[in-house]
Every structure is written in structure tokens, then in C-alpha cells.
Structure 1
């Protein structure tokens, strides 16, 4: 598990609108990469292109190349559903299926992919995934209760367990802590640090301190103005981005002068 991500001259469109322009980036396996930048600069849009999730909107498309270990996920004949089994996503707000038990929430992705398994195999997947999300000890005695009955931080970790149950290579996280309290945020950040032992992790965050805490590399996106496309301005080791950025706009953003 875990794969290298390479974007080559990637442009992202919504209809005729160019939302993100000319992204070139190389993300190494088993690392955490943070995307930062002001609202509307294209970081979430670009994140969603990594598993073709942006295509759920009518008229959305990408031009250029996006490679997972050298294979273009936008190549002819590539099934977006297959891409999403390799590249999982955790969203901004925890979204467990409210009518499902904790156990069934973990197994939901596997069942959606049409896979059948014995009860013992399913039990193994549930335990492995919940342990991987640092949630097992908190819920192991109530697996048949609704996932919606958990706290916000537990729900987010349940969603992470659901993501890793299908054994992806890459995990994308779109502001996974923005709806959480500080203690729950710390639990998820600790988990992110552990996940990179097995996965390539990419996270969008507006929290500069969080980017500094959890990421190995940071990509700063910016936008020249309303109606202009978002662009990748600078990409470097996180300490360099925060302490010695090459671009003035990066320095202005991380120091709080704008955004």
C-alpha cells in the first residue's frame, strides 16, 4: 500500500471555468502532505481530482496527467470507481451512515464494491480497521449500536476506519478537523501521523499550526483574484514553507498577513 502521486500540467475545469491551472507536483509515498491557502484558491478542487471525486459535478473535468505510481488515473478506459477504491477520502464533516451500526459503517465501502465475505473475515476487517483508526478500544463493546451515536471526533475516526477498510493506497482528507473540538482534533492528528506508516496521506487544512504539526511537505495554493484560476505557488518541506519560503505570497500567508 501507499503510492506516489504525480500531477503533470493538470488543469481542472467546471464547465468552461478554469478552476485550477497548471499544477505540477510530486508527492512521495508514506508521507503527509498539507495543502494550504486562502478560500477559493483551488486546494480542495485539486484534492478531489486525485480520486476523480470532482467529476460528480456535471461538466467537471481535468486535463493533463495525474499518475499513481506511474499509471494515469485519467487515462482511457480507467473506471473512476476503481480509482476511488485506491484513493479514499475523508470529508470535512463526519458522515457516518446514520441508520447503520458502527460495524456496518466500517464494512459499507466493501459492500458497495460488491464484495462478499464470511462473518469471520468481516469481523477481522472491522477489528483491523477500527484499530487502525485508534477507535477499537472505545467501541468494541457496542459495534451493533448506531455510528451516529458517537461523539464528533469518534465519528470522524469511524469514517477513517471505513476508508481504510477497503485497503486504499492513498487517503485524502478535506479539513478533517474543522468541525471538531481541540481534544478530538489532537486524536485525529495523532492518527494521521500513524497512517503515514502505511499510506500516502494528503490533507487540506486552513489551520497553519495543524499543517506544521502533521505534514512532511506543504503545498501553498493562491488565487490572483475573483474569477481567476487557483495555482500552486510553492511546494517544499513543511519547515521550509513556514520558516524560509521562497515566494513572498507564501510568507505573507503563513505569517497571517492575508487569508
Structure 2
């Protein structure tokens, strides 16, 4: 598991509107990469292109190449559903299926992909995934209870368990802690640090301290003004971005002078 991502001269459109322009980036396997930048600069839009999630919006399209270990995920004939099973996503707000049990939430992705599994295999996947999300010990005695009955932080870890149950190579996270309290945030951050041993992790965050704590590399996106496309301004080791960035705009943003 864990794969390299390369974007080459990558543009993202919504119909005729150019939302993100000219991204060139290489994301290493078994690493955590943070996308930072002001609201509306395209970081979440670009994140959603990494597993073709943006295509659920009518008129959304891309130009350029997006490679997963050298294979273009936008090449003709590539199934977006198979891409999304390889590149999982955790959203800003925890979104367990409210009518499903904790157990069925974990297995939902596997079943949605039409995969038939025995009860024994299902039990193994549920335990392995919940352990991987650091949730097993908290829920092992109530697996048949609704996932919606968990706390916000537990629900987010349940969503992470659901993502890793399908054995992805990459996990994308769109502000996964923005709706959580500090203790739950710490639990998710600890989990992210553990996950990079197995997965390539990409996280969008508005929390500069969080980016500094969890990521190996940081990409700063910015926008010149309303109606202009978002652009990748600087991409480097996280320690460099926060101490000696190359671009003044990066320095101004991470120091809190704008954004």
C-alpha cells in the first residue's frame, strides 16, 4: 500500500471557469502532505481531483496529467469508482451512515463495491479497520449500535475506519478536525502520524499548527483575487515552509499577516 502522486501542468475547471491553474507537484508515498492557504484558493478543489470526486459536480473537468505511481487516473477507460477505492477520502464533517450500525459503517465501502465476503472475513476486516483507526477498544462491545450514536471525534475515526477497510493506497482528508474539540483533534492527529507508515496521506487544513505538527511537506495555495484561479505558490518540507519560505506570500500567510 501507499503510492506516489504526480500532478503535471494540471488545471481544474467548473464548466468554463478555471478554478485551479498549472499545478505541478509530486507527493511521496508513505508521507503526510498538508495543503494550506486562504479560503477559496483551490486547495480543496485540487484535493477532490486526486480521487476524481470533483466529477460529481456537473461541468467539472480537468486538463493535464495526474499520475498514481505513473498511471494517469484520468486516462480514457479508467473507472472513477476504482480510483476512489484506491484513493479514499475523509470529509470535513463526520458522515457515518446514520441508519447503519458501527459494524455496517465499516463494511459499507466494501459492499458498495459489490464485493461479497464471508462473516468471518467481515469480522476480521471490521476489527482490523477499527484498530487501524484507534477506535476498536472504544466500540468493540457495541458494534451493532448506530454509528451516529458516537461522539464527533469517534464518528470521524469511524469514517477513517470505513476508508481504510477497502485497503486504499492513498487517504485524502478535507479539514478532518475542523468540527472537533481539541481532545478529539489530538486523537486524529496522532492517528495521521501513525497512518503514514502504511498510506500516502494528504490533508487540507486551515490550522497552521496542525500542518506543522502532522505533515512532512506543505503546499501553499493562493489566489490573486475574486474570479482568478487558485495556484500552487510554494511546496517544500514543512519545516522550510514555516521557517524560511522562498515566497513572501507564503511567509505572510504562515505568520498570520493575511488570510
TM-score band w.r.t. shorter chain: over 0.9
Residue 102 of structure 1 pairs with residue 102 of structure 2: yes
CA drift of 1:141 comes to 0.2
In 1, Cα distance between equivalents of 2:200 and 2:93: 21
User: Could you list the per-position Cα deviations for residues 14-33 of structure 1 after superposition, in whole angstroms to 9, with x for gaps in the alignment?
Assistant: 00000000000000000000
| Aligned positions of 1:1-259 closer than 5 A | 1-259=1-259
TM-score scaled by length of structure 2: 1.00
Give deviations 1:121-145, integer Å, cap 9, x for gaps.
Answer: 0000000000000000000000000
CA RMSD of aligned residues (A): 0.2
**Displaced runs of 4+ in structure 1, greater than 4 A?**
none
Structure 1, unpaired ranges of 5+: none
Shift in Å, 1:149: 0.2
**Structure 2 gap segments, 5+ residues each:** none
Structure 1 SS opposite 2:134: coil
Task: Provide the rounded CA distance (Å) in 2 between the counterparts of 1:211 and 1:75.
Answer: 32
Please list the CA deviations of residues 95-122 of structure 1 after superposition, one character each: whole Å capped at 9, or x if unmatched: 0000000000000000000001100000
TM-score between both structures, scaled by the size of structure 1: 1.00
Q: Count how many residue pairs are aligned between Structure 1 and Structure 2.
A: 259
What does the per-residue CA deviation read over 1:22-68, in whole Å, with 9 as the maximum and x for residues that have no partner?
00000000000000000000000000000000000000001000000
Secondary structure of the equivalent of 2:210?
helix
Shift, 1:201, TM fit: 0.0
- Cα distance between partner residues in 1 of 2:251 and 2:74: 34
